[in-house]
Amino acid sequence: MKTALVCGAGGFIAGHLIERLKNKGYWVRGVDIKAHEYRPTHADEFMLLDLREPDACRQALSLGDGTFDEVYQLAADMGGMGFIHSAECEIMHNSILINVHMTHQAALLGARRYFFSSSVCVYRDMQPGEPEMTEDQAVPANPDNEYGWEKLYSERMAQAYSRRYPMQVRIARFQNCYGPFGTWTGGREKAPAAICRKVAEVEEDGTIPVWGDGTAIRSYTYVDDMVDGIYRLMHSDLQGPANIGNPEYVTVKELVDTVAEISGKRFNIQWVAGPVGVQSRNFNNERIYSTGWRARFPLREGIRRTYPWIAEQVRLARGEG
């Protein structure tokens, strides 16, 4: 039986990844600084550990006399644009410590394959209509925020260790990911979850505030597609980073319209100043396509699977469950 360590197991994407690995017959250990807020873990074993500490990383990676076949590193001090812009010191301090110690300890303890969850935040801003950007165009680097700089350093560190140690490293640069069982309130939620929550909360013909002017262009990847990409990339021969993202690019206004349609609610939008992030995105997917990966969930279908879960959380939080 293959063994996998999943770091960040109390979080959104890792929670879904563990479910997938269990369905594929793995023995899975999950680690996180907190338990999952929205559902019980599917992992065989769950450890509460602060992965900023080298000893905790060693404990997470230790498996009797053996070593893990696969390590998936998804732990990060993480949130949407509001969080990224207000917590840059926490992001740079906490996430870099996690990655420095996990990469180092995984290599020393002989992990065979190591997956690192990076982000398209490593790229510079783009203008609408620009041609697709490939992975090697992340340098010369000019990320829009410190979260991107932290990811870029951690990518390079993992690659350096793969040159020194017999540890295969796989790196994915995720586009925005959304789906059920993810953060939907509290300040760390990302745009799709925040908009689903605001729409679920608004009275008929009421108004929801949305940051920016609605013209920013994004791609939103449904979590099942993301997990499929992670799994395929981990088992591929692809060295170096690979973008993973839905090729369906939409404006933020189109995202709001999609949520409105799925919810069946009528409301007004008030565009307000806020930390929107970059203006545009357009990334090349050829590397991840070479693994056979394709996005299977258009935005409308992903929101159709996400909105009811968030609307239910809103009802439960209001005591209407």
- Catalytic residue numbers read 147
Q: Which residues contact 187 (CB under 8 A, 6 or more apart)?
A: 79, 82, 83
* CB closer to ligand NAD, 8 vs 277: 8
Residue 34 as a binder of ligand NAD (CB under 6 A): the answer is yes
Examine residue 10 and tell whether it contacts ligand NAD (CB under 6 A).
Answer: yes
Residue 172 sits at φ, ψ, to 5 deg, of: -110, 140
- Please name the residues in contact with 289: beta carbons below 8 A apart, sequence gap of 6 or more: none
At which residue do the structure tokens 């090349």 appear? Answer: 284
* Contact region with ligand NAD (CB under 6 A), list: 73-81, 136-144, 158-166, 230-238: 73-81
d(CA 153, CA 142): 13
State yes or no: residue 8 binds ligand NAD (CB under 6 A): yes
The reply on whether position 176 binds ligand NAD by CB under 6 A is: yes
Extract the tokens encoding 220. Answer: 């939103």
Within positions 250 to 279, which residues make up the interface with ligand NAD, using CB under 6 A?
A: none
Is residue 98 a contact residue for ligand NAD (CB under 6 A)? yes
Q: Please state whether beta strands 168-174 and 241-244 pair in parallel, antiparallel, or not at all (unpaired).
A: parallel
In the list 19, 32, 144, 225, the residue contacting ligand NAD (rule: CB under 6 A) is 32
Q: Are strands 249-251 and 217-222 parallel, antiparallel or unpaired?
A: antiparallel
Q: Which of 4, 28, 76, 238 binds ligand NAD (CB under 6 A)?
A: 76
Question: Total residues at the site for ligand NAD (CB under 6 A)?
Answer: 26
Residue of 183, 258, 263, 285 interacting with ligand NAD (CB under 6 A) = 183
Is there binding between residue 225 and ligand NAD (CB under 6 A)?
A: no
Q: What does the block give as tokens for 44?
A: 């065989």
CA distance 68 to 224: 24
Residue with tokens 């540890």: 167
- Can you give the binding site for ligand NAD, defined by CB under 6 A? 8, 10-14, 32-34, 50-52, 74-78, 94, 98, 117, 119, 174, 176-177, 183, 190
